[in-house]
Structure 1
Amino acid sequence: MRSSNPVFSRRGFSRDNGYAGFNAQPQAGGAAVGTQQANPYAQGNPYAGAGQQAPTNPYANNPYAQQDLQGAPPQTPVTTGRMTMDDVVMRTATTLGTLVVTAALAWALLPVDDANIGKSYGIAIGAGLIAMILGFVQAFKRKASPPLILAYAALEGVFLGVVSSVVDNRIASGAAMQAVLGTMAVFLGVLVAYKAGWIRVNRRFYGFVMAAALGFILLMGVNLLFAAFGGGDGLGFRSGGLGIMFGIIGILLGACFLALDFKQVEDGIAYGAPREEAWLAAFGLTMTLVWIYMEFLRIIAILQGND
């Protein structure tokens, strides 16, 4: 399990020591019964060697994900030390709570009036850059580091607090609350659609989302370079009609990454992932929600700024 930010790769879909989320059946307390009930998205286990088509538990080394030599789940599921949905909810609430608190403090303590906006912007950009670095560090770590994740959330909160204050007070009154409501609506909508089976997360879905996200990020990077060297908004991808269109695309991509996050959480619980993996789930969900919030905030700023 790794972060959901489109910049980062996902351990859940790789060939490393993470779980092969779409290619093996749950082994430790999952819903599978019998050796024939495999993942409906799997076409055999591509991670097995020649002649080894039996699904394996990628968390076999976790002492709490017990299994026999045939890969069958234990008769009595072991829950101690394994990730549960309560763990994911609590860790996510802690991470988002840290972000919200620091965002509120930044909003209150870093004024954005004409006399102080330069200083506040500088602090926000510095916090955002450090948060990005911490995000990359955690994304490439093999294990979750709660202090690192909480530090990322705190610094990201400072950045969001100042940016939200600027947009809300100087461009579009009420934009921050509207962006929060929009982000919550997307989260709940994707959750309902995922649980109802309307969104089927498989390898094709994953490949499409990653390709679309890569193209989106490359376009935004090119736009940023043109803006840095040519001034203005570069190619115009972040303002006006094009800005609104790309903002909507960004929100849709964020929704797709939420579906991938939900799948990874579901697989981690089914496979008997160790409890500390819940911090990675919280980290990924937080990054995705920040992504969606920023896209909403920008769209609202464009719409109200043109009134």
Structure 2
Amino acid sequence: MRSSNPVFSRRGFSRDNGHASFNAAPQAGAATAGTNPFAQGTAANPYATNPYAQGTQPGAPAPARTDAMTIDDVVTRTAMTLGLVVVAAAIAWWTMPVDEGNLGTAYGVAIGAALIGFVLSLVNSFKRRPSPPLILLYAAFEGVFLGIVSNIVSVYVAPGAAMQAVLGTMAVFAGVLIAYRTGLIRVTRRFYGFVMAAAIGFMLLMMVNLLFAVFGGGDGLGFRSGTLGIIFGIVAIVIGACILALNFKQVEDGIAYGAPREEAWLAAFGLTVTLVWIYIEMLRLVAILSGDD
């Protein structure tokens, strides 16, 4: 199963028929084709070669890795990326005035930071190897964007909105993690297909809404304000929570099947992207609900 997050889908963080793809020896009697793109090559699956298994003969089991990714690696890298997001957001909050005289400048800086962060996210997603400096740069620019936008919302729309959005994001993260670990959420092929379809459909709809807003003014089709805005905000958060479950699954598979330690940066990047998504939608939802009071 491929992750909905492109940073995972290219790296072998995949499971088909229940078999993960890093150094995973096929079970006895199990089909080798289509189950493990990083397993050793066989006649049935000539494309199944493991780029991380050095010096082995085709068909031989992969040797145990001495530099395999661990949960501590993932936690440490994720703490670094999220910590940088928070630090950059705090610096932007306190150093970028959002009063009437500087509001346009603040918006400009926020949009610029968002665009740079988006470009960096694409670069990180399609690089052959994880690049810690580029991942940290993404976190820094994303933090600048979040800090300015959060400050604007807190000043002009809903005081305390940023803290509410942070608490909401933490609650979603904790809830999904508990549900995943206890088996309430099972990441199956059907679950993956549903999440992918929902995410793609949501993004296409938001792009159409943005085009109407750009060329027609206002809020476009009204999907981001009022009652419709509340509904679509909740839908976006639910989709983000489902993607978070997919991320947990990919990290679990990577650890269980011997992903190289450098892939912990990739896992941290994927989790950061998803949490930023959830936070932005939480902030938007708080702003809409406060405006309706």
TM-score of the superposed pair, with normalisation by structure 1: 0.85
Structure 1 segment 272-291 matched on structure 2, within 5 A: 272-291=258-277
Give the counterpart letter for 1:218 in structure 2: L
Q: Per-residue deviation at 1:168?
A: 0.7
> How many angstroms does 1:305 deviate by?
1.2
Aligned position for 2:6: 9
Sequence identity percentage? 61
Aligned amino acid, residue 116 of structure 1: N
Deviation of the 1:102 alpha carbon: 0.4
Change (3 A) 1:94 1:235: same
Q: After the TM superposition, which parts of structure 1 deviate over 3 Å for at least 4 consecutive aligned residues?
A: 8-12, 23-30, 36-39, 46-51, 66-74
1:145 is aligned to 131
| Whole-angstrom distance in 2 between the partners of 1:253 and 1:283 | 18
RMSD: 3.0
Q: 1:61 aligns with which of 51, 58, 79?
A: 51
* Distance verdict in 2 for CA 1:162–1:24, change over 3 Å: same
Report whether the alignment pairs 1:107 with 2:93.
yes
After superposition, the Cα gap between the structure-2 partners of 1:282 and 1:28, relative to the gap in structure 1 and judged at 3 Å, is closer
Please name the residue that 1:35 is paired with: 27
Are 2:229 and 1:235 equivalent residues in the alignment?
Answer: no
For 2:6, give the aligned amino acid: S
Please name the residue that 1:300 is paired with.
286
Structure 2 gaps of 5+ residues are none
Q: Are the structure 2 counterparts of residues 229 and 93 from structure 1 closer, same or farther at C-alpha, using a change threshold of 3 Å?
A: same
Q: For residues 230 and 214 of structure 1, do their structure 2 counterparts lie closer, same or farther at Cα, with a shift above 3 Å needed? A: same
Asked if 1:120 is matched to 2:77, the reply is no
Displacement of 1:68: 7.4
The answer to whether the 8 A contact 2:73-2:264 is kept is: yes
- Equivalent residue runs for 1:59-208 within 5 Å: 60-63=50-53, 70=59, 72=61, 77-78=64-65, 80-208=66-194
- Partner of 2:44 in structure 1? 52
Displacement of 1:25 in angstroms is 3.2
Task: Show the counterpart of 2:207.
Answer: 221
State the distance in 1 between where 2:266 and 2:126 align.
Answer: 11
Residue 38 (structure 1) shift: 6.8
Q: Secondary structure at the match of 1:61?
A: coil
Candidates 236, 246, 257, aligned match of 2:243: 257
SS in 1 for 2:207: helix
Write out per-residue CA displacement over residues 164-203 of structure 1, whole angstroms, 9 at most, x where no aligned residue. Answer: 0001111101110000000000001100111111111121
Structure 1 counterpart of 2:12? 18
Match 2:230 to one of 244, 267, 270: 244
Q: Deviations over 1:233-255 (max 9, x none)?
A: 00000000000000000000000
State the AA in 1 paired with 2:166: V
Contact 1:45 1:53 in 2 (8 A): no
Q: 1:303 to 1:46 in 2, by over 3 A?
A: same
Shift of 1:21: 2.2
Per-residue CA distance 1:234-290 (angstroms, 9 max, x = gap): 000000000000000000000000011001101111121111111110100001000
**Does structure 2 retain, via aligned residues, the 8 Å contact 1:258–1:285?**
yes
- Give the total of aligned pairs: 291
Deviation string, structure 1 residues 137-158 (Cα, Å, up to 9, x no partner): 1111121111110001000000
Tell me how far apart the structure 2 counterparts of residues 53 and 135 of structure 1 sit (CA, whole Å).
33
For structure 1, the 5+ residue unaligned runs are none
CA distance in 1 between partners of 2:30 and 2:72 (Å): 26
